Amino acid sequence: MTTALRRLRNYIDGEFRDAADGRTTEVVNPETGEAYATAPLSGAADVDTAMAAAEAAFPAWRDLIPAERQKVLLKVADRFEERAEELIAAESENCGKPIALVRSEEIPPMVDQIRFFAGAARMLEGRSAGEYMDGFTSIIRREPVGVCAQVAPWNYPMMMAVWKFAPALAAGNTVVLKPSDTTPASTVLIAEIIGGVLDELGHSRGVFNVVCGDRETGRLMVEHKTPAMASITGSVRAGMQVAESASKDLKRVHLELGGKAPVVVFEDTDIPKAVEDIATAGYFNAGQDCTAATRVLVQESIHDEFVAALAKAASETKTGPVDDEDVLYGPLNNANQLAQVKGFIERLPAHAKIEAGGEQVGEKGYFFAPTVVSGLKQDDEIVQHEVFGPVITVQSFADEKQAVEWANGVEYALASSVWTKDHARAMRMSKALDFGCVWINTHIPLVAEMPHGGFKKSGYGKDLSAYGFDDYTRIKHVMTSLDG
């Protein structure tokens, strides 16, 4: 007997709908490599309908006092907590994430982030009113930008959806959100939750819409005449395409793209503690994280000791089924990503050495062993390009100057970390490292109050924090004559 596939649908103007032309794609469970659901492969008609719904809902949502938008987001956060097990199950099945880790590491911060932006809705700041010309008073209005076209990635589909819709809705915008074609399940459930809250509180459900589909669907959204802003978390290539498409009508663009985080370890660091934390930050979520600690630079005096300890840590790191509470990570998200990671290993230069892992694990699904590669040079492919898998590379540097040169010597500039007991050195490095975030003696913690975003080919704009909230607003100058 063949088990019927679950049917996911778009959420447009408060209704669950199939694609207008009936097209679908299969959704695969990466733990088994088998399809378990279908999702709409949305086209131009679906995008038009969603944009029209968001546009129609915008004036009333924009004109709400901030306290009313705050009520919506606070209730959404409450619903996330109440329906946490449903969200966990959807995310785990769709992404292959360990259930225990989704419960402990994703649900609490997502709820906190929604509540943070609920508060931010009532904290719009601007320069004080004043007279800058005799007889006139100037004030600043901070307003929502309009309809936002948002595209979320497959590595954290649920959390990245929160990072997008929460600040956008808090600021008074309406949203059309597209999840990745490989991970639509939790986003569709989020639409059900938000739609229910909007309906309960008497607001148009067109405020928030979800359109499933592929890259072509995303392109149609970005090029559509309605959105005032396009926001994407994804690859550098995708970000460039979005920026090019948006330039045709000068849409505002918010890009959070790839990363190649340097992890700079000096000889005075606590090696066992550093290895433990770096291995966790490198292998968490199977290394499928733009900020993952996967490019380690170690001072040459401790290189051999560090590599041996890291290889041991890798051998003790466990990957496996989502219901195993002892695993740190599950499978890679999809077959293409598994092939990409394997390709990096297969193309390693002769001078590279695999210290641990380096192979696929299991007979089904997309599991890959925790891997450590040493002996690498600065211009090696695996050093310069994002692997997005459970692979940590190690290079040996001579001094601080070389460490800075190699750390900055990539096209990405999202996150970095420095490991040292020397405070002055840590301060010098935090200034010299050309990355949007510098962690000192830690790697990967994020908080709602602080910004996340990079430079160079890692994109522009910020997620989280008041800076991320500001990105979803526009500034208007109003000048009044005092003559009456």
Q: Over the stretch 428-443, which tens digit does the pLDDT of each residue have?
A: 999 999 999 999 999 9
Reduce the secondary structure of the chain to three states and give it as a string: CCCCCEECCEEECCEEECCCCCCEEEEEECCCCEEEEEEECCCHHHHHHHHHHHHHHHHHHHHCCHHHHHHHHHHHHHHHHHCHHHHHHHHHHHHCCCHHHHHHHCHHHHHHHHHHHHHHCCCCCCCCCEEEECCEEEEEEEEECCEEEEECCCCCHHHHHHHHHHHHHHCCCEEEEECCCCCCHHHHHHHHHHHHHHHHCCCCHHHEEECCCCHHHHHHHHHCCCCCEEEEECCHHHHHHHHHHHCCCCCEEEEECCCCCEEEECCCCCHHHHHHHHHHHHHHHHHCCCCCCCEEEEEHHHHHHHHHHHHHHHHHCCECCCCCCCCCECCCCCHHHHHHHHHHHHCCCCCCEEEECCCEECCCCCEECCEEEECCCCCCHHHHCCCCCCEEEEEEECCHHHHHHHHHCCCEECEEEEECCCHHHHHHHHHHCCCCEEEECCCCCCCCCCCECCEECCEECCECHHHHHHCCEEEEEEEEECCC
What are the tens digits of pLDDT across the range 189-229? 999 999 999 999 999 999 999 999 999 999 999 999 999 99
Is 148 noted as a catalytic residue in this protein?
A: no
Compute the mean pLDDT over every residue in the chain, rounded to the nearest whole number: 97
- Given a cut of 80, whether residue 126 has pLDDT beyond it is no
User: For the chain, how many residues are written?
Assistant: 484
Q: Each residue of 250-280: pLDDT tens digit?
A: 999 999 999 999 999 999 999 999 999 999 9
What's the pLDDT tens digit per position in 18-69? 999 999 999 999 999 999 999 999 999 999 999 999 999 999 999 999 999 9
Write the pLDDT tens digit of every residue in 437-468. Answer: 999 999 999 999 999 999 999 999 999 999 99
Query: Given this model, what pLDDT does residue 6 score?
Result: 95
d(CA 391, CA 379): 17
Does the active-site annotation cover 437? no
Q: Are 172 and 143 in contact (CB under 8 A)?
A: yes
pLDDT over threshold 90, residue 3:
no
Given the residues 95, 148, 290, 437, the one annotated as active site: 290
Residue 46 identity: D
pTM of the model as a whole = 0.96
d(CA 11, CA 17): 6
Residue 329 has pLDDT above 90, yes or no: yes
Bridge partners of 373, per DSSP, are 354, 393
The pLDDT tens digits of the residues spanning 292-310 come to: 999 999 999 999 999 999 9
- Position 2 pLDDT exceeds 60: no
* pLDDT of 371 above 80: yes
**Active-site residue (options: 91, 93, 106, 256):** 256
- Which residue matches tokens 């002055």? 424
Residues of 298-311 as b/e, b for ≥16 C-beta within 10 angstroms? bbeebbeebbebbb
Q: Which domains does the chain show, CATH number per domain? A: 6-257+458-477 (3.40.605.10), 262-447 (3.40.309.10)
Going by pLDDT thresholds of 50, 70 and 90, the confidence category of residue 1 is very low
Instruction: Classify the phi-psi angles of 134: left when phi > 0, otherwise alpha if psi is within -120 to 50, otherwise beta.
Output: beta
126 CB-near residues (< 8 Å, 6+ apart): 140, 141, 142, 475
Please list, in sequence order, all residues whose beta carbon lies within 8 angstroms of the beta carbon of residue 402, skipping any fewer than 6 positions away.
none
Q: pLDDT-derived band of residue 128, with 50, 70 and 90 as boundaries? A: confident
pLDDT at 127 over 90: no
Average of pLDDT values for 143-160?
Answer: 98
* Matching residue, tokens 């209005």: 141
Task: Give every CB contact of residue 228 below 8 A, 6+ residues apart in sequence.
Answer: 145, 146, 147, 148, 251, 252
For the ranges 119-128, 166-175, 443-452, which has the lowest average pLDDT? 119-128
pLDDT of 104 higher than 80: yes
> 412 CB contacts (<8 Å, ≥6 apart)?
236, 257, 258, 259, 260, 261, 386, 454, 456, 457, 458
Q: How far lies 209's CA from each of 49, 161, 198, 475, in Å? A: 10, 12, 12, 26
Query: Terminal CA-to-CA distance of the chain, rounded, Å?
Result: 81
Residue 124, pLDDT score: 83
